[in-house]
Amino acid sequence: MLLQHPAYAQATDTTTVKADSGEVVSSSDLQQEAEAAGTNAADTTGNAVAAQTPAGTSASSNAAAAAQEEAKPIDPQVYKNFFYYVLLFFLICIVVGIIGKIIQIYELTREMQGKSKRVNWNKFHGTLFLIFLFIGLYGAYWSFTHHGSLAWHESASEHGATIDSMFITTTVITTIVFVLTHILLFGFSFVYKSTGKRKAYFYPHNNLIEKIWTIVPAIVLTILVLFGFFTWRSITNVSEDDAKNALQVEVTGEQFAWTVRYGGRDNKIGKRSIKLTTPTNGLGIDFNDKNAWDDVRGGDIVLPVGKPVRFTINSKDIIHSFFMPSFRVQINAVPGMATHFQMTPRYTTDEMREKLNNPEFNYVMLCAKICGQGHYNMQKTVRVVTESEYKEWLTSQTFYFDDAAKQEFKAAQAKSAKVKAGDSKQLALN
């Protein structure tokens, strides 16, 4: 009905703001400027150009806001088309109802005149049931073969094979039940249609049948639930050593963007506190924790193939949902409570493109919770690369502990020292 906003809005490059001029530039431009000056944009001293945004919002938030502003308003003709088709639908229903009443009056008139009915409606309806049984089953088969291939492909993560096995088992069982129940429902309507020569037998109760159709589904559903429970535990119950040795990536959701933080060279993500949130430090990173000094900001999510990755998921405002469909990964991002998900990619982006024969394919990370007007824009591209490509990418990224963060950190330390000195002086006087 053409009532569709843009489904996704991908950003091809992260944006930054120069502190001196307010000019918005891309991260690639900053890297080129740094190379021209003979320095690296992400050197170990943290002397990288800050990717700051006004009023404490992240660069990704600005990109999301810009995408929303650029979205074109819906053409009024769309609404006209919508109401046109709604009215057309109701008109067709009225016409069908009128024709039905005319036929009914015609049949009653013939019956009053002692004439036989021209149409055996019971037989007609029974035949329709049989026809629609075959049409419906064929439609289900067609949907499996066509739509299934659009939404389903081999999992890109190691644990995804178990998820797929559980999904296929559930689908097979429910499909068998679907087919059998519809054959019985529509088949009985055809075979036992009224002929005027027999009377329906009313079978009000049977304990055996009641037990069968209660106990059998209960057993099947219990098996499926336990299957899912143990599968989920096997995926999420990771040992402390495995969790510690995995690549540490933090993803924070907010309306309407995701912010990505990598553990850096020490693979340890620094602490955070909501009390430390400032326009410069949008995540509230505690730079008293030295583990935070080499934390790296990432525009997209870039992962090395074959290496375990542990995601720490947070939210700054409301509940979001961290969702990577190709990897069979989904878990809520809850304000004030970190959630975790660990997985291992098994195919690079290029390998999956070859498997799908689709050179335009990209892994994506989405928000699976409807979180507001800009929900559609909460996505990031996920790139799975070789380990050497990942290391090369990591060295080209900027630190969260950049010049602006260092200045703010020093000012906070000086203020804290001054307060402590004043308190000590006051204590001595007392």
Residues pairing with 252 in the sheet = 259, 314
Residue 150 and residue 251 in one domain: no
Contact present, 351 and 166 (Cβ < 8 Å): no
Is residue 171, in this structure, part of any structural domain at all? yes
Residue where a domain stops, chosen among 203, 236, 269: 236
Say if residue 229 is in the same domain as residue 196: yes
- Single-letter amino acid, residue 316: K
Structural domain ending residue among the three candidates 236, 258, 280: 236
Query: Do 343 and 327 form a contact (C-beta atoms < 8 A)?
Result: yes
pLDDT per 10-residue tile (average), the chain, 430 residues = 38 40 43 45 38 40 50 76 90 91 81 71 85 93 83 84 88 91 91 80 85 91 90 87 89 90 86 83 83 84 91 91 91 90 92 89 91 88 91 86 82 76 61
Q: Which two tokens stand for residue 60?
A: 């990704």
* 200 shares a domain with 270: no
212 lies in the same domain as 264 = no
What is the model's pLDDT at position 408?
81
Other residues' Cβ atoms within 10 Å of the Cβ of residue 293: 20
Q: Which domain holds residue 393?
A: 242-402
**Whole-number Å distance between alpha carbons of 41 and 34:** 5
Q: What is the pLDDT of residue 300?
A: 86
Q: Is residue 47 included in any domain, yes or no?
A: no
DSSP 115: P
The CATH number of the domain holding residue 160 is 1.10.287
Task: Please check whether residues 204 and 271 belong to one and the same domain.
Answer: no
Burial (CB count within 10 angstroms: exposed 0-12, middle 13-18, buried 19+), residue 205: exposed
Residues 340 and 322 in one domain: yes
Answer yes or no: do 251 and 333 share one domain: yes
Q: Is residue 212 part of a domain?
A: yes
Q: What is the CATH number of the domain that holds 306?
A: 2.60.40.420
pLDDT of residue 24: 42
Let me know whether 186 and 266 are in one domain.
no
- Pair 262, 205 in one domain: no
Residues 324 and 351 in one domain: yes
Residue 136 lies in a domain: yes
d(CA 232, CA 227): 9
Number of domains in the chain: 2
Largest CA distance in the chain: 119
> Which tens digit of pLDDT belongs to each residue from 244-282?
889 999 999 998 889 899 988 888 888 888 888 888 888
| Residue after which a domain boundary falls, among 208, 236, 264 | 236
Domain contains 119: no
Q: Are residues 225 and 304 in the same domain?
A: no
420 within a domain of the structure (yes/no):
no
Assess if residue 186 is contained within a domain: yes
**Does 112 map to a domain?**
no
**Are 180 and 272 part of one and the same domain?**
no
Q: Quote the CA–CA distance of 248 and 342 in Å, as a whole number.
A: 9
